[in-house]
Amino acid sequence: MLELLNEHVCHGGVQRYYRHQSQAIGLSMRFAAFIPARADGAALPALFYLAGLTCTEETFMIKAGAQRMAAQEGLILIAPDTSPRGASVAGEDDSWDFGLGAGFYLDATQAPWNMNYRMESYIRELRELVIRELDVDARRVGICGHSMGGHGALTLALRHPELFRSVSAFAPIAAPSQAPWGQKAFTGYLGADRAAWAAHDASALMAQRRTPFPDGILIDQGLGDQFLDTQLYPEVFEQACRGAAQPLRLRRHAGYDHGYYFIMSFIDDHLRFHTKNLKALAD
């Protein structure tokens, strides 16, 4: 059951914010949905957007300016929160890069996080919920994300290609096993076994695949990004794609940093990319 918290008319469609009880998380969760106008009432394709560290379900919808192009393309936008809220796990708000706002889109296996920090299962649950409640076309669901959310988009697409048929990212944590953010999260949520880490590392996953997305993957990376050399490692993912014969457009942009001015500059390209890929599935 969805509880509508508020809604706003936007570019001829409607921007909504919902709350619902999640079985995967065991708590109530919030998400945002932009739903463009429907001329014939038909089910529409959808794009999941996974936000980065410290963000909420509101961040992308408020800052990215994606609704205009989504309305033009007839694309539903879904933005979940970045972690459970209200789990009351000791230490979950001690740092900004682990715990609250930093669920890393995986299912924790280590206590006490494994009780509620089950974000991979939650994203799958939310996908089924919006298909049922918001008339999303189940055949045409893509996924995109930024930073921690870029990591989530890449890994969830690679782990569940039957669920997410198109994938892109902005400045993703592309090799989290090599990055301080990823190492901290993986140790806390998954423990010390690096084999468990590899199952949630986009570069390691890609190295085990063979052309999982033949229509390509799109990544945009700012060269003025303060985290590029220490946290993101797009070149590692790029090399893994070469080995997997995976078409990849990794666009490097001089001057752009890690924030939403960067995302709003190129979000239209990502929406068109997903629309093209998802439309082909309906033809």
Residue 147 a catalytic site member:
yes
Answer whether the bond into residue 112 is a cis peptide, omega within 30°: yes
Asked if 283 is an active-site residue, the reply is no
The residue annotated as part of the active site, out of 147, 168, 177, 203, is 147
Kindly name the residue from 22, 220, 225, 274 that is annotated as catalytic. 225
The single residue of 151, 258, 270, 274 carrying the catalytic annotation is: 258
What residues are labeled active site?
147, 225, 258
